């Protein structure tokens, strides 16, 4: 990685963190559990990396197997996280 592309990534990191701080500060305590479960599902974005790591044609390669393990774990994180969040939010009703 060149220093230039590193700096761009760093900009993205800082700005996205700032957006995150601003957004979460406004979430009322009532919704903190679904928020956490939902953001937890977002952290499963590493699934993108896992798919790339699976993209090796040689089954003898350790990296391929690591990628596949990562893909299963990340999928559990993503699918389970979103499904659980939706299940909780469905229950929030106003009479």
Partner 1 sequence: MNILIQIAYLAASILFIIGIKMLGRTSTARKGNFLSSLGMFIAIFATVIQVEAITLVDILICVIIGSALGLFIAFKVQMTKVPEMVALFNGFGGLASLTVALADFWLNTQEKGLQVDQITGISVAISILIGGVTFTGSLIAYLKLNGKVSGKAITFTGQHLINLLLLIAAVGVSVFALTDFSNPTFMIALAILSLVIGVLVVIPIGGADMPVVISLLNSYSGMAACATGFVLNNNVLIVAGALVGASGIILTQIMCKAMNRSLINVLLGGFGQTSGSGNQADGPEIAVKEVGVEEAAQIFDSVSSLIIVPGYGMAVAQAQHAIRELSELCEKRNINVRFAIHPVAGRMPGHMNVLLAEANISYDKLIEMDEINDDFANTDLVFVVGANDVVNPAAKTNPDSPIFGMPVLNVEKAQTVIVTKRSMGKGYAGIENELFGADNCLMLFGDAKQTITKLVGELKEL
Integer Cα distance of 69 and 90 in angstroms: 32
Burial readout 61-90 (b: 16 or more C-beta within 10 A, e: otherwise): eeebeebeebbeebeebbeebbebbeeeee
Torsion of CA 29, 15, 80, 34, to 10 degrees: 10
Torsion of CA 63, 65, 69, 70, to 10 degrees: 20
Q: Is 4 in the site for partner 1 (CB under 8 A)?
A: no
Q: x/- contact string, 14-53, with partner 1 (CB under 8 A)?
A: --xxxxxx-xxxxxxxxxxxxxxxxxxxxxxxxxxxxxxx
Q: Is 62 in the site for partner 1 (CB under 8 A)?
A: yes
Q: x/- contact string, 63-92, with partner 1 (CB under 8 A)?
A: xx-xxxxxxxxxxxxxxxxxxxxxxxxxxx
């Amino acid at each position: 990685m060149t220093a230039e592309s590193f700096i761009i990534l760093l900009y993205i990191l800082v700005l996205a963190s700032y957006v995150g701080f601003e957004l979460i500060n406004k979430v009322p305590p009532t919704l903190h559990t679904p928020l956490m479960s939902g953001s937890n599902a977002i952290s499963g974005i590493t699934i993108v990396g896992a798919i790339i790591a699976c993209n090796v044609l040689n089954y003898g390669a350790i990296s391929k197997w690591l990628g596949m393990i990562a893909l299963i774990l990340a999928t559990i994180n993503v699918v389970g996280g979103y499904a659980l969040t939706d299940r909780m939010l469905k229950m929030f009703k106003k009479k």
